[in-house]
Chains A and B, each alone.
Chain A
Amino acid sequence: MRQNTAMKLGAIAAVTAVALAGCSAAEDGPSTSDFDTAMSTPTEITMWAWAPGIEAQVALFEEAYPEIDVVLENVGQGGEHYTKVRTALEAGTGAPDVAQFEYQYIPSFVLTENLLDLAPYGAGDVEDQFTPWTWAQVTNGDAIYAIPQDAGPMGNLYREDILSSAGITEAPVTWEDYTAAAEAVKADSGSYISSFSGNDAGSFLGLLWAAGATPFTYDGDQTVSVSLTDPESQKVVDYWQDLIDRDLVAVDPSFTDGWYQGLANGAYAGWLTAAWGPAFLQGTAADTSGLWRAAPLPQFDAADPIAGNWGGSTLGALSSTEHPIVAAELAKFINTDSAATLAFATEQSLFPTRTEVLTASEFVDQESEFYGGQRVNEIFAEISTTVDTDFQWLPFQDQVASSFVDTLGKEISERGDLSAGLAAWQDAIVTYATDQGFTVE
């Protein structure tokens, strides 16, 4: 991993943050007796989350704290979920106490001061349980805004049969290898190497992340920076422009029924996806079991591999909660209890963020028939150690995602000029940020 100044500063800041958080927890946070009282008082607490099967973890929590009754609601997934959370916050009533937040949405709720700082509630104590890059995503200075639940370090899932029929017997290590594989596969079976989709900003940003780019920064207050057109990002766009121009990659929107179809019937020989992808694929392309393999993402510099992240979630407590101690404990318990987090990893296929689970044999030793007996978890656990810790999000990621679809995404889906799309995206974000009163650096 590259060691640049920003990262070193970040590390120093993180260390300081922990130290400060430790202090403030002792001084300002609730005392042990406050905690015991809160957790043994009959309390109803609402949590909005869509993680499949999270009822199991909630049950463990209720077992540990029998006086607490958790009302679990699934109000939709992704965008719909945040819409509901924000609308309830805006209305000043009906918001949950605890909610699921994807990493990229945390800054936008920090900006509006809707997230409870968990540091006074002892959240700093669990920092060393988590992989550093996931922890970096939930903190800002001294504050800890959420507890990581799962993550999505990116890798490459591919059809071993299609690639080997085209003479490619090793997973592509570099992006040049990937291009070569795309050529061979296209010539051999007519399949595309994958679909490079223009509807999901998340996967594209994951690729930027894996190229070492840090397109966004946010200081937690009023200052943002947007540098989507810097050389690292440009390199990514240029790479895909070449594949698109030569018709070596599909540009179908992801997660649409046509795209599912493409994965299931071999129209795409692979999928550059996150650690939650393997289980997902298993559910959607069951007929191709045994034909798939997992590998790390191709690299620009094989000697210094970097991974990016796509997706994954956290649990955060909302500052409007009337039961901050209980809410903080719920978020913390579900994502740090050994039994709860192991179940997330092994039964609900959520990729772990706790190092204990990432090294647990129940997790890493799982052999997957769908992937020809590979230990897929082990591969992604390995990838997880190479994820860059610098990546940040803007406090208006909804706008970032929707303007992506209208600018770069449009160019991708129309096989147009990606560089122009990237520049238009940059402009749209900067304009929006300026209009909203941010200082744009």
Chain B
Amino acid sequence: MTTTSDRTVSRRGPSPQRRKLIITAYILITPFILVFIGMVIAPLLYAGFLSLFQTRLIGGEQFVGLANFGEALTDPLFLGGVARMSAFLLIQVPIMLGLSLFFALAIDSGRLRGGRFARLAIFVPFAVPGVVATMMWGYLYGDDFGPIAQGVRSLGLPAPDLLSSELMLFSMMNIVTWSFVGYNMIIMYAALRAIPTELYEAAELDGAGAVRIGWSIKIPAIRPAIMLTLIFSVIGSFQLFTEPRLLATIAPNVIGTAYSPNLYAYTLAFTFQDVNYAAAVAFLLGFVIMIISYVVQLSNARSGGRS
């Protein structure tokens, strides 16, 4: 995601003019960089430092090197969380982005009645905080009083228990999908609107159908936008926290303390006061996210090169 279109104004050689430019640049980035160092880099280094120690309730703190990382890599609670989030990623992200793309293309095609309203309606859930969205769906999922179960029962079918351990992950996927389809759709839609018309006017004149134009002209044209949403979705799904934490109050036996790695790190740090191990878990989590994002970008670059 580095930009390739930098048209920077620069003079070669150490002229006074260039020095002035460099000073200006530093003045402009300094406020951001200061806060960035204070709020991102320093805490990160501190967390890395903390992860090298171990504190026991009896015996206190001691340096253990990378032992916390070794422990996390064999910790079934951490690995279970990572596995759950991987499943989340593989199932939820394609569905969500697929829906986003579908809605973006449909609305952009102009072949829709009430397209403007639809766009607003689909986007609105993004304005609903995760806390509220989760509470709300928690009620909707209710086995006895939830309208979903009521509806299914009124058809004479057995209602699925959406808060059971088998279905919980899917129920969470639904909440996240509901919240973020609109957001991703807006990004894709914005990109679609920015495609120069000339790109497909010729195809239209040649009689190409909307589906064909969508598939072979529009989607490739907004590939960067899709990549952006994909990367953000990858990062987002591994950081799942609000949904499991709040749903744990209505399905405590299903969720526990390590449902997602983020929730696990939080519980370790703030409930069990095991700051050191929590830091190691959070670090490993960041590492997993980085690898997956990198793989995604790499595979994009490969297939992008082919087409």
| Known A87-B270, A398-B272, A402-B257; contact A199-B252, beta-carbon cutoff 8 A | yes
- Note all chain B residues with C-beta closer than 8 A to A402: 256-257, 267, 271
B273 at the interface (CB under 8 A from A): yes
A122 at the interface (CB under 8 A from B): no
B275 at the interface (CB under 8 A from A): yes
- Note all chain A residues with C-beta closer than 8 A to B253: 198-199, 253, 405, 409-410, 412-413
Complex Cα gap A243–B68 (Å): 43
In the assembled complex, the CB of B14 is this many whole angstroms from the nearest CB of chain A, namely 48
- Note all chain B residues with C-beta closer than 8 A to A198: 253
Max chain A CB contacts within 10 Å: which of B142, B145, B252, B256?
A: B252
Q: CB within 8 A of A435: which of B56, B139, B144, B254?
A: B56
Q: Are the C-beta atoms of B256 and A405 separated by less than 8 Å?
A: yes
Q: Are the C-beta atoms of A405 and B252 separated by less than 8 Å?
A: yes
In the assembled complex, the CB of B74 is this many whole angstroms from the nearest CB of chain A, namely 14
- Note all chain A residues with C-beta closer than 8 A to B56: 435-437
Q: Which of A26-34, A41-49, A255-263, A358-366 lies at the interface? A: A255-263
Q: Are the C-beta atoms of B252 and A437 separated by less than 8 Å?
A: no
A395 at the interface (CB under 8 A from B): yes
Closest B residue to A221 by beta carbon equals B58
Q: Are the C-beta atoms of B250 and A256 separated by less than 8 Å?
A: yes
Which residues of A195-236 have CB atoms within 8 Å of chain B's CB atoms?
198-199, 222
Mask: chain A, 377-404; 1 = CB below 8 Å from B; 0 = not:
0000000000000000001101100100
Q: Are the C-beta atoms of A261 and B145 separated by less than 8 Å?
A: yes
Q: Are the C-beta atoms of B59 and A437 separated by less than 8 Å?
A: yes
Complex Cα gap A257–B145 (Å): 9
Q: Are the C-beta atoms of B57 and A437 separated by less than 8 Å?
A: yes
Complex Cα gap A256–B146 (Å): 13
Complex Cα gap A222–B267 (Å): 24
| Known A398-B271, A410-B253; contact A438-B144, beta-carbon cutoff 8 A | no
- Note all chain A residues with C-beta closer than 8 A to B256: 402, 405-406
- Note all chain A residues with C-beta closer than 8 A to B275: 90
| Known A83-B270, A87-B270, A90-B273; contact A111-B57, beta-carbon cutoff 8 A | yes
Q: CB within 8 A of B142: which of A255, A258, A410?
A: A258
B143 at the interface (CB under 8 A from A): yes
A86 at the interface (CB under 8 A from B): yes
Complex Cα gap A414–B58 (Å): 36
Complex Cα gap A412–B252 (Å): 12
Q: CB within 8 A of A256: which of B252, B257, B271, B273?
A: B252
- Note all chain B residues with C-beta closer than 8 A to A253: 250-253
Complex Cα gap A111–B56 (Å): 12
In the assembled complex, the CB of A132 is this many whole angstroms from the nearest CB of chain B, namely 29
A79 at the interface (CB under 8 A from B): yes
Closest B residue to A83 by beta carbon equals B270
Q: Are the C-beta atoms of A399 and B272 separated by less than 8 Å?
A: yes
- Note all chain B residues with C-beta closer than 8 A to A258: 142-145, 250
- Return the 10 tightest CB-CB contacts between A and B, nearest first: A437-B58, A199-B252, A413-B253, A436-B57, A437-B59, A437-B56, A256-B250, A83-B270, A436-B56, A402-B257
Given A79-B271, A257-B145, A436-B58, 7 other A-B residues pairs in contact with their CB atoms under 8 A: A90-B275, A111-B57, A112-B57, A258-B144, A396-B57, A398-B272, A414-B165
Task: Provide a sorted-by-A list of 23 A–B residue pairs whose CB atoms are within 8 angstroms.
Answer: A83-B270, A83-B271, A86-B270, A90-B275, A198-B253, A199-B253, A253-B251, A253-B252, A256-B249, A256-B252, A258-B142, A258-B145, A395-B57, A398-B271, A398-B272, A399-B272, A405-B252, A406-B257, A409-B252, A409-B253, A412-B253, A414-B165, A438-B57
